[in-house]
Amino acid sequence: GAVVSQHPSWVICKSGTSVKIECRSLDFQATTMFWYRQFPKQSLMLMATSNEGSKATYEQGVEKDKFLINHASLTLSTLTVTSAHPEDSSFYICSARPPGAGELFFGEGSRLTVL
């Protein structure tokens, strides 16, 4: 199947700093990628849809200025958590759908811990 890769797998940062998470589609081009957030022992919640060459579409309740998304190429989307606080600690997962495929493929996830 298609491969979606995230980096870093885990990151620890101090409160107030910004953290960037990368999501790459390794063997296909993705005009759209999706960013999900998963709290411990909970389901995945869609945060935003990343659109190549244009602005991301955010779900209701997600702060655009807090979670900056950039989809600068057909294989890379980045999520930047700005001025991170402990409540931003979570597991962030990206996904993408290869052309012609019906399902989404997910990255390995990135665990963010804000101290």
Partner 1 sequence: AQSVTQPDIHITVSEGASLELRCNYSYGATPYLFWYVQSPGQGLQLLLKYFSGDTLVQGIKGFEAEFKRSQSSFNLRKPSVHWSDAAEYFCAVGGGATNKLIFGTGTLLAVQP
Q: Is 6 left (phi over 0), alpha (psi -120 to 50) or beta?
A: beta
Nearer to partner 1, 82 or 113 (CB): 113
Query: Is residue 102 within 8 Å of residue 114, measured between CB atoms?
Result: no
Q: Which of 12, 18, 108, 115 binds partner 1 (CB under 8 A)?
A: 108
Choices 14-22, 68-76, 78-86, 87-95; region in contact with partner 1 by CB under 8 A: 87-95
Q: Which of 43, 53, 60, 61 binds partner 1 (CB under 8 A)?
A: 43
Determine how β-strand 57-58 pairs with β-strand 67-73: unpaired
Q: Compute how many residues bind partner 1; rule: CB under 8 A.
A: 25
3-class DSSP state of 86? helix
Nearer to partner 1, 82 or 106 (CB): 106
* Placement of tokens 């957030």 in the chain: 37
* Contact call for residue 44 and partner 1 (CB under 8 A): yes
Residue 67: CB atoms within 10 Å: 20
Give, as one character, the DSSP assignment of residue 39. -
Residue numbers at the binding site for partner 1 (CB under 8 A): 1, 4, 6, 32, 34, 41-46, 49, 91, 93, 95, 97, 102-109, 111
